[in-house]
A and B are shown apart, each in its own frame.
Chain A
Amino acid sequence: MFSKSLFKQSCKANGIMWTIITVAVCFMLCCVMLISGNGNLGDTKSVLEDAIIEGELDSQVQRRALNYYELADGALCHFDNTFKEKYVAAYTQALQSGKSEAEAGQIASVTAYSLAAEELTTYYSALIEQKGYDENSQEAQEIRGVIFYVFNPLQADGTYMFDSFYTDLGEEAPRYNTLLATISEEGHADERDKYVMTNSSIFLAGNMVKDENIQSVLDVLSEYGITKEKYAEFGFSDYGNVKQKSLEVLVNYRANLEYRLENIKDGETVESIKAEIADDLAGGLLSVLPQDMFDALQEVGQADLYGALIGSIFFKMAGLLLPIIYMIMSSNALIAGQVDSGSMAYILSSGTKRKQVTFTQAMFLISSILVMFLCTTLTSMICFAIVDVSTELTYGKLALINLGAFLVMFAMSGICFLASCYFNRSKHSMALGGGLNMFFLVATMLGLFGSPVLPSIIRMEALNAFNYVSIISLFDVVSILDGTTTFIWKWAILLAVGIICYIVGSLKFEKKDLPL
């Protein structure tokens, strides 16, 4: 089946061209991988990415701040009401038992305070039940923390429960009791609000800069792939910064709320107004941009440019050009060119069967392309090891991409080989083999602009039609990079096309007349 002498002859005839092209392709690959890997690939993209991430982190902080504020304020409001109730009851009772006004007042305050403080626990339990949280859940603990840390209860032994938390942060420990003195006055609500605002912000900031909490925030925003370093870069690990953000949003919130409640319209409830203001202030980028735009920006931000460059641009287009040229010229030189010039007569008159000729030449063509892509695989692996870039590419995926490129070349070389076996004239063989495959390549280039590889913002959907007329589209790089398996059945088609073409070509060559 195999003729060693013919194989040798083919090697000698095509060896130089093969070497030049392989070296050129590997060199180009090196340049592409190393230069773009160490450069600033997509600076604009990073800026965009950062803007989106920062916006989302801001939004997180602001929402929490508003949430804590409302929780604490609600709790303290309840406390106030309970306090007033119990105070009146205790005061009356003290007077009745013969204490002086001043004494009664004193006793009443203390009694009312402790009763109302106890009451808070019940309030808390009712609240978490209403919200549907389990007592031991994180959300419940959070709410508990907010309420009690802000309230900072006075304990039986005269110390305040959470003083150390505040002093550790360099802040003054809050004293709600001082505000209780003015509880009946008009300005009390305002004072209470300010108290809550200040201390809930301290609580928020103090907690948010703790490691375990940072991690939970990162987990919530895991889809953005934010690292701790990036997080710190944006300033969210800085206590003062976070506290400032919280205070800012709360000031805005209170001002807006006051105005809206004074000018409440028909159909609006306090809840709906509060929700609206919260969305407005803490909505992040999503609230400003339409969904499509936001999705598009997110896509750009998350686009793996390096993977797209290597996989889709190099191994599906630019890097295939030289191997295709080699393939066109060598497949013609192996059969049709020799029939055209007449030198095939020497091969056949030496006793080599036609079957041997096609088999040997096919083997040469396929193996030369295979070795070429083994070289590119090796080169790409080495370059990937040298380069340090954030990308979805792995060694495994690189190997798959190289294999995919080889399979595309296998199928296309099948077409060239078929043309070479079918025609007796070089020009016909190159016209079909070369023309068709060049068309595929150009179609793929145009189709790239309409494909999912490019972010939707710069995609030109209409050009996607070209992807349907090119055999190179069966090389699904996007699928490989994403880690799905759709690329496998497409490879099966490529393999089949190649095998069929080689077989049909060989059969045709065996049966046809040769003008030698």
Chain B
Amino acid sequence: MTEPVIEIKDLTKDYGEGRGIFDINLTLYKGEMLGFAGTNGSGKTTTIRNIMGFLQPTSGAAYVKGLQTWKHSSEIVKFIGYVPGEIAFPDLPTGTAFLKSQAEFLGISDMSYAEYIIEKLQLDPRAPLKRMSKGMKQKTAIVAALMANPEIIILDEPTTGLDPLMRDAFLEIIKAEHAKGKTIFMSSHMFEELETTCDRVALIRDGHIADIAILDEIRNRKIKEYKIEFVEESDYRRFKETGYDIIRDQPQYCQVTIAITSEQLNRLFHDLKEYQVKFISEVKYNLEKHFKTVLNREKEIKTNVQ
């Protein structure tokens, strides 16, 4: 079992009127990439600010490498490369000036790694900060975060506003860092990008952790779902009798959605030869679906209790 790098224990930051984060429990292990999903205003940024030691918790605490974040903020940040949600650079002329200033702050004299990332991202840092596009600013921010080669990387919605190509380039870099063994914590409200990169994803809703999904399990789910539409209504009705696990029935379109194991797959296709099938498509079980299922289940439980 790898060691925990970031531990969040019963963390609560109450801003009043129900806003804030409540009883957050989360652990990041060394070398792991944890995604943080949630809608706007669900508490992602607040959690990250607590990890960085910018906010004082109402109760509970966050620990980075065993040190309490609020008390030891200036020490823990040295292990972390942080890309903030809003890109705001200090009042300096160019990207190069900013990166030089950051290097001074971090005490780095060897800029080779920074230059490597700059080249990888195809960034020209000589441009004036004020005139940079969102994509350039984001890249500059990433260089600033990674230049000290930190072991922990925290990213707060880093791809918001980037076009798909940029986003892909960015995610590639993150994946490369992850492959090197870095511990990464990334928040986003786009499930797709978390799916492809993270080991686990925590869903936060209204300040509470709703669920923590393990991507391996989702990707390698034993059960698959298929949607089949039949040409003839008679075929449709006949198929319904064959005993497959029907999880969704749409008679108006002669569609059924069934859940089968991978072993049953062959048998299904064998059976379908007897029918006139309009189309068959796999309903992929992805993170979004997973979370929706979890949330619906919760809602059911709640209404049942009431």
Contact for B52 among A12, A349, A356, CB less than 8 A: A349
A261 within 8 A of B: no
Q: A350-B77, A351-B75, A351-B106 are in contact. Are A513 and B54 (CB under 8 A)?
A: yes
Q: Which of A3, A6, A12, A343 contacts B88 (CB 8 A)?
A: A343
Q: Provide a sorted-by-A list of 27 A–B residue pairs whose CB atoms are within 8 angstroms.
A: A6-B105, A9-B90, A9-B101, A12-B91, A12-B92, A12-B97, A13-B91, A333-B91, A338-B90, A341-B88, A343-B88, A343-B90, A343-B91, A345-B52, A348-B74, A348-B77, A350-B105, A351-B74, A351-B77, A351-B78, A351-B106, A352-B105, A353-B73, A511-B56, A513-B54, A514-B54, A516-B49
Considering the chains assembled together, what is the distance between the CA atoms of A338 and B105 in angstroms?
16
Q: Which of B80-111 contact A (CB under 8 A)?
A: 80, 82, 84, 86-92, 97, 101-102, 104-106
Given the complex of chains A and B, what is the CA–CA distance between A180 and B149 in angstroms? Answer: 125
Question: Residue A5 at the B interface, CB < 8 A?
Answer: yes
CA distance A8 to B91 in the complex (A): 12
Task: Tell me which residues across on chain A come within 8 A of B87, comparing CB atoms.
Answer: 342
User: Within the complex, what minimum Cβ distance (angstroms) separates A28 from chain B?
Assistant: 27
Cross-chain contact B52 with A343 (CB below 8 angstroms):
no
Known: A338-B90, A515-B54. A346 touches B102 (CB 8 A): yes
- Indicate if B213 sits at the interface (CB-CB under 8 A): no
Q: In this assembly, does A432 line the interface, its C-beta being within 8 Å of a C-beta of chain B? A: no
* CA gap between A5 and B97 in the complex, in Å: 12
A-B contact count (CB 8 A): 80
Residues of chain A within 8 A (CB-CB) of B55 are: 513-514
- In contact, B106 and A350 (Cβ under 8 angstroms): yes
Q: Does B144 contact A (CB under 8 A)?
A: yes
A482-513 residues with Cβ-Cβ distance < 8 A to B are 511, 513
A347, CB-defined interface residue at 8 Å: yes
A9 to B80, CA, bound (A): 22
Given A353-B74, A516-B49: A343 touches B89 (CB 8 Å cut-off): yes
Q: Which residue of B lies closest to A514 (CB)?
A: B54
**Neighbouring B residues of A349 by C-beta, 8 Å:** 52, 77, 80, 82
Complex Cα spacing A12 to B80, Å:
27
CB contact list, A323-347 vs B, under 8 A: 333, 338, 341-343, 345-347
Instruction: Say if the beta carbon of A425 comes within 8 Å of chain B.
Output: no
User: Is the CB of A354 closer than 8 A to any CB of chain B?
Assistant: yes
The 8 Å CB contact of B90, one of A3, A13, A356, is A13
Asked if A345 contacts B106 (CB within 8 A), the reply is: no
**Extra pairs beyond A338-B90, A348-B77, A514-B55 (8, CB < 8 Å):** A9-B92, A342-B84, A343-B90, A346-B90, A346-B102, A347-B90, A348-B73, A356-B74
Contacts of A5 in B (CB 8 A): 101, 104-105
With A345-B88, A352-B74 known to touch, is A516 a contact of B52 (CB < 8 Å)?
A: yes
Q: Among residues 221 to 252 in chain A, which have CB atoms less than 8 Å away from a CB atom of chain B?
A: none
Bound-complex Cα distance A9 to B100 (A): 11
A356 to B74 alpha-carbon distance, docked (Å): 10
Q: Which residues of B contact A338 (CB under 8 A)?
A: 90
Closest A-chain residue to B52, C-beta based?
A349
Q: How far is the CA of A342 from the CA of B49 in the complex (A)?
A: 12
Q: Which residues of A contact B75 (CB under 8 A)?
A: 351
Report the separation of the CA atoms of residues A3 and B97 in the bound assembly, to the nearest whole angstrom: 18
Q: In chain B between 48 and 74, which residues have their CB closer than 8 angstroms to a CB of chain A?
A: 49, 52, 54-56, 73-74
Per the bound structure, the CA–CA distance linking A341 and B86 in Å amounts to: 9
Bound complex: CA A343 to CA B89 (Å)? 5
A345 to B55, CA, bound (A): 12
Instruction: Tell me, in angstroms, the Cα distance from A6 to B105 when the chains sit together.
Output: 7
Query: Which B19-54 residues have a C-beta within 8 angstroms of A?
Result: 49, 52, 54
Q: How far is the CB of A438 from chain B (nearest CB, A)?
A: 24
